[in-house]
Amino acid sequence: MTLMAGSIVEGKVVNITNFGAFVEVEGKTGLVHISEVSDTFVKNVNDHLKENDMVKVKVISVDDNGKISLSIKQAGVPKRSIKPMEIDWEKEKNKSNTCNFEDIMSKFLKDSEERFQDVKKHQEGKGRGYSKKTSSY
């Protein structure tokens, strides 16, 4: 069978580089570029593939010089549509803190008043020993 663009075949990873992986398919070696390794961002190919791994690849192209471009992510199972997560709001409501709004507000006011008093004391302390002199011109 000759390799044709669009066909999906199984191959063996023979070498891994910074820019992708070389996969042997049907006696020939093709390149899976780093951008074609996974649906997610790939910083290091070694995190996804190891030498001698058997992988399913899609032939993207075969040029006149015999260079074969392959893709692992295009050979994979098509992405399923993601359903929105259902939330049971009653459970979430019960799970949250038992404090109600009034408790939170009273704590905020208490803390706020304490901070205000600290600032006020600090400002009064700076004012001691300071006398306002008026100059006459």
pLDDT tens-digit map of 101-110: 888 888 899 9
Residue 29 lies in a domain: yes
- How far is Cα 15 from Cα 66, in angstroms, rounded to an integer? 18
**Same domain, residue pair 65 and 116:** no
* In-domain check, residue 88: no
What is the number of domains present in the chain? Answer: 2
Global pTM value: 0.54
Query: Averaged in consecutive runs of 10 residues, what is the pLDDT profile of the chain (137 residues)?
Result: 82 94 92 91 90 92 89 73 64 64 87 88 70 58
Query: Alpha helices, DSSP H only, in 23-128?
Result: 89-95, 101-127
- Please calculate the CA angle 5-8-11 and round it to the nearest 5 degrees: 110
The range of the structural domain enclosing residue 40 comes to 8-71
Task: Name the token pair of 124.
Answer: 């009064």
Same domain, 24 and 64: yes
In contact, 13 and 46? CB cutoff 8 Å: no
Residues 51, 13 within the same domain:
yes
